[in-house]
């Protein structure tokens, strides 16, 4: 029988399997609780992200009577201009977009550490969800724009690594369902990301900015409710109980203090190297919410049978493609595995970078064809299709790899390290985005393609030593 500890995390007595809490579609029910929690949280996050750059460029920073009332605007603008020189509206918005999305992925390192050492995953997730809810509703007040971003950044740091880690905790370390579980979990992320531009983006562009941001807050509340009422199904597998701060025995507490073995150090270093290589991937990939959204808004024809569709719907293409192709790719990998031909995790990640570069090659042709006018939405559809396949080869595989090879007593912190690479990549995406209006469109997209290709070559070059350090996974 599962029990709930004082920290709120479900555990199992030794010897029992985590399906004790019930199964659904061959997986523990707890996976689907986490699926729905993350779906609603990602709906809130991506709904806000879909509007963010357009909100700054078309409203908040465009009108002096508005931006002068924003608390901290002059200070932040002054700090950025002291480092990068005078910034027009679009480069300034790009820098702030990069800082926000970057810091969203930096704070999980701290959130993972807090959960591992003090609060436990359950309490940390709850605190993070409450902080993000506050942040979304603060976006309704123009003068509190930067305070709202602060709450969202801190809240996400507490929420994100501890939700992802709990997926891995449902399975034994050698359970063959683990990769499939993370792919399903990734589909939950992208179901929320698909719905968010359709709901938040439409409300924001057609009704009012604050309606869009407010709907994101409602999504966060729903995610918290699912997580709290579904907690009884999230049963920790015995393989992971020793890594939990909650309900630890004296022997388990001593294990946390045990020095890392040489094999554990090799795995840690290999994960850090992969995180470093991921930085370039995310710098290019995150142009979706930045410069690619501007392309969608300014250089794409959204008139469909006389109806003008909101340009933020562009950001539904990526998650919709994931929902369609993630299961198919899982079947494809399973067939490869049955023939002993499935690529290693590192090889998959290199393929992901290569596909990302190929996606921006399509945008090079789009820039040559469209020029300064408006082009077909099919350019974005084709680019997103290839880009998304690259994401599927890298992101869920990386999440799974961290939970497989990181030492159990620091798994949340290592998950935070994984997200730290996204922080640097997201910030770099904002910096690179400042060149969008100073370079030709063709030159800008060429730069993106070259950077992604270079990351793919680097991963391929380090494939053999990385696989060895990770136990040939």
C-alpha to C-alpha distances, 404 to 52, 270, 281, nearest whole angstrom: 35, 13, 22
Instruction: Look at strands 303-304 and 307-308 and give their pairing.
Output: antiparallel
Whether the Cβ atoms of residue 91 and residue 434 lie closer than 8 Å to each other: yes
Q: What is the pLDDT of residues 1-12, one digit of tens each?
A: 343 333 344 444
Among 52-66, 256-270, 362-376, 459-473, name the most confident range.
Answer: 362-376
Q: What is the pLDDT of residues 237-289, one digit of tens each?
A: 555 555 444 444 444 455 556 777 777 777 777 778 788 888 999 999 989 88
**3-class SS of residue 274:** helix
Query: Is residue 69 within a helix (H) or strand (E), and if so which, with residue range?
Result: none
**Residue 355 binned pLDDT confidence (cut-offs 50, 70, 90):** very high
What does pTM read for this prediction?
A: 0.73
What are the extents of the domains in the chain?
A: 18-242+251-469
Specify the CATH class of 18-242+251-469 in words.
Answer: mainly alpha
Rounded Cα gap, residues 281 and 296, in angstroms: 21
Q: What is the pLDDT of residues 294-329, one digit of tens each?
A: 999 889 998 888 788 888 888 888 889 888 888 888
Query: Is residue 309 within a helix (H) or strand (E), and if so which, with residue range?
Result: none
Helix 29-55 to helix 209-229 angle (10° resolution) is: 160
Alpha helices in 260-406 (DSSP H): 262-285, 291-298, 317-338, 345-370, 378-405
Rounded Cα gap, residues 306 and 20, in angstroms: 55
């Amino acid at each position: 029988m599962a029990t709930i500890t004082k920290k709120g995390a479900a555990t199992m007595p030794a010897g029992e399997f985590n399906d004790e809490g019930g199964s659904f579609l061959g997986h523990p029910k707890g996976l689907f609780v986490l699926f729905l929690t993350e779906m609603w949280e990602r709906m809130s996050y991506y709904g806000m992200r879909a509007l963010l750059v357009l909100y700054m460029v078309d409203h908040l920073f465009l009108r002096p009577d508005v931006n002068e009332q924003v608390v901290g605007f002059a200070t932040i603008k002054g700090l950025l201009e002291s480092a990068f020189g005078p910034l027009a509206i679009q480069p300034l918005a790009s820098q702030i977009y990069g800082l926000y999305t970057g810091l969203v992925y930096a704070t999980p390192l701290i959130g993972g550490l807090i959960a591992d050492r003090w609060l436990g995953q359950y309490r940390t997730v709850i605190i993070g969800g409450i902080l993000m809810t506050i942040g979304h509703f603060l976006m309704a007040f123009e003068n509190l724009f930067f305070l709202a971003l602060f709450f969202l950044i801190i809240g996400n740091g507490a929420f994100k690594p501890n939700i992802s880690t709990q997926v891995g905790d449902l399975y034994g370390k050698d359970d063959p369902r683990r990769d499939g579980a993370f792919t399903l979990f990734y589909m939950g992320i992208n179901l929320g990301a698909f719905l968010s531009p359709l709901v938040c983006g439409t409300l924001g562009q057609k009704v009012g900015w604050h309606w869009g941001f407010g709907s994101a807050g409602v999504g966060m509340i729903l995610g918290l409710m699912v997580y709290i009422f579904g907690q009884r199904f999230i049963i920790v597998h015995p393989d992971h109980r020793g890594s939990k701060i909650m309900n630890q025995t004296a022997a388990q507490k001593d294990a946390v203090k045990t020095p890392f073995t040489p094999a554990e150090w090799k795995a840690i270093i290999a994960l850090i190297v992969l995180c470093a290589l991921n930085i370039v991937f995310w710098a290019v990939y995150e142009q979706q919410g930045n410069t690619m959204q501007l392309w969608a808004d300014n250089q794409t024809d959204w008139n469909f049978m006389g109806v003008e569709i909101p340009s933020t719907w562009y950001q539904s293409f990526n998650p919709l493609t994931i929902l369609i192709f993630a299961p198919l790719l899982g079947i494809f990998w399973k067939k490869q595995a049955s023939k002993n031909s499935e690529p290693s995790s590192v090889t998959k990640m290199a393929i992901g970078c290569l596909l990302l570069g190929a996606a921006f090659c399509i945008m090079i042709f789009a820039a040559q064809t469209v020029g300064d006018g408006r082009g077909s939405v099919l350019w974005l559809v084709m680019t997103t299709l290839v880009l998304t396949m690259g994401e599927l080869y890298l992101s869920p595989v990386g999440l799974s790899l961290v939970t497989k090879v990181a030492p159990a007593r620091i798994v949340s912190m290592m998950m935070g390290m994984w997200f730290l690479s996204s922080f640097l990549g997201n910030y770099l995406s904002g910096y690179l985005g400042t060149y969008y209006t100073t370079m030709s469109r063709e030159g800008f997209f060429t730069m993106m393609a070259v950077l992604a290709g270079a990351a793919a070559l680097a991963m391929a070059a380090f494939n053999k030593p990385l696989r060895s350090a990770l136990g040939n996974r």
